[in-house]
Structure 1
Amino acid sequence: MRIAAIDVGTNTAQLLIADVTGKRIERLHVAERFVRLGEGVDATGRISKAALRRLGDVLRDHRSVAEAHEVDQFVVCATSASRDATNRDEVIRFVRDETGLPYEILSGEEEATWSFAAATAPFRDVHAGCLVVDVGGGSTELVAGTNPSGHTPNAERSISARVSLNIGCIRLTERCFTSQPPAPNDISFARNAIDSALEHATLIASSRNDGALTVIGTAGTASALALVDTGPDSTIDPLNGSPHTLTSERVRHWREDVLRRSPEEVLALHPKAMEHRATVFPVGVMILDAVLEQTGASVLHVSPYELRHGLILRHLASA
Structure 2
Amino acid sequence: MKIAAIDLGSNTFHLLIAEYKNNQVDIIFKTHRPVKLSENITLNNCIIPKAFERGITCLQEFKSIVNKYGVDQTKAVATSAIRSAKNGEDFVKKAQELTSIKIEIISGDKEADLIYSAVKASGAIKEKSLIMDIGGGSTEFIFCDEDKSYWRKSYDIGAARLMQNFFKSDPISVENMDTINSHLRATLSDLLEFNKEFKAINLIGSAGAFETYLEMIQPETDLQLISTSSIDIFKYKDLSSNLKSSTHRERLVMPNLIPLRVDMIVMAFVLTDFIINNLNIQQINMSTYDLKYGIVNQSYNFATK
Indicate whether the TM-score tops 0.5: yes
- Amino acid across the alignment from 1:90: D
Residue 241 of structure 2 corresponds to 256
Residue 76 of structure 1 corresponds to 76
Residue 205 of structure 2 corresponds to 217
Q: Is 2:146 aligned against 1:161?
A: no
Contact 1:266 1:274 in 2 (8 A): no
Runs of 4+ in 1 over 4 A off after TM superposition: none
Q: Secondary structure at the match of 1:97?
A: helix
Alignment deviations for residues 203-253 of structure 1 (CA, whole Å, 9 cap, x no partner): x4333433563321002211222122223xx34133x41422223333222
Shift in Å, 1:22 = 7.9
Q: Is 2:90 aligned against 1:104?
A: no
Residue 262 of structure 2 corresponds to 278
- Amino acid across the alignment from 2:154: S
Q: Secondary structure at the match of 2:17?
A: strand
Alignment deviations for residues 64-105 of structure 1 (CA, whole Å, 9 cap, x no partner): 222222221111111000111111210111111122211111
Give the direction of change, closer, same or farther, for the CA distance of 1:262–1:98 in structure 2 (3 Å limit). Answer: farther
Residue 143 of structure 1 corresponds to 142
Q: Distance in 2 between matches of 1:43 and 1:312?
A: 34
Q: Is 2:219 aligned against 1:236?
A: no
Q: Distance in 1 between matches of 2:214 and 2:61?
A: 27
Shift in Å, 1:268 = 2.1
Give the direction of change, closer, same or farther, for the CA distance of 1:254–1:100 in structure 2 (3 Å limit). Answer: same
The farther-off stretch of 260-269 and 159-168 is 260-269
Structure 2 portions without partners, runs of 5+: none
TM-align CA RMSD: 2.0
Residue 288 of structure 2 corresponds to 304
Which of 167, 172, 181 is the equivalent residue of 1:177? 167
Q: Distance in 1 between matches of 2:102 and 2:33?
A: 18
Q: Distance in 1 between matches of 2:125 and 2:78?
A: 31
Residue 28 of structure 1 corresponds to 28
Structure 1 portions without partners, runs of 5+: 149-157
Residue 59 of structure 1 corresponds to 59
Contact 2:230 2:284 in 1 (8 A): yes
- Amino acid across the alignment from 1:195: R
Q: Secondary structure at the match of 2:289?
A: coil
Contact 1:248 1:289 in 2 (8 A): no
Alignment deviations for residues 134-176 of structure 1 (CA, whole Å, 9 cap, x no partner): 011111100112324xxxxxxxxx1211111111100011100
Which of 207, 223, 236 is the equivalent residue of 2:195? 207
Q: Distance in 1 between matches of 2:255 and 2:23?
A: 36
Contact 2:142 2:151 in 1 (8 A): yes
Q: Distance in 2 between matches of 1:124 and 1:188?
A: 32
Q: Distance in 2 between matches of 1:67 and 1:256?
A: 45
Q: Distance in 1 between matches of 2:4 and 2:259?
A: 24
Contact 2:251 2:262 in 1 (8 A): yes
How many residues are treated as equivalent by the alignment?
A: 302
Shift in Å, 1:298 = 1.4
1:85-104 to 2 correspondences below 5 Å: 85-104=85-104
Contact 1:243 1:303 in 2 (8 A): yes
Contact 2:200 2:279 in 1 (8 A): no
Identity %: 25
Residue 50 of structure 1 corresponds to 50
Q: Is 2:232 aligned against 1:247?
A: yes
Q: Distance in 2 between matches of 1:77 and 1:186?
A: 33
Alignment deviations for residues 8-61 of structure 1 (CA, whole Å, 9 cap, x no partner): 111100111111248632111211110111112222111111111100111122
Give the direction of change, closer, same or farther, for the CA distance of 1:22–1:292 in structure 2 (3 Å limit). Answer: farther
Q: Distance in 1 between matches of 2:185 and 2:282?
A: 18
Contact 2:177 2:270 in 1 (8 A): no
Q: Is 2:204 aligned against 1:193?
A: no
Contact 1:120 1:303 in 2 (8 A): no
The farther-off stretch of 9-18 and 57-66 is 57-66
- Amino acid across the alignment from 2:139: T
Contact 1:15 1:31 in 2 (8 A): yes
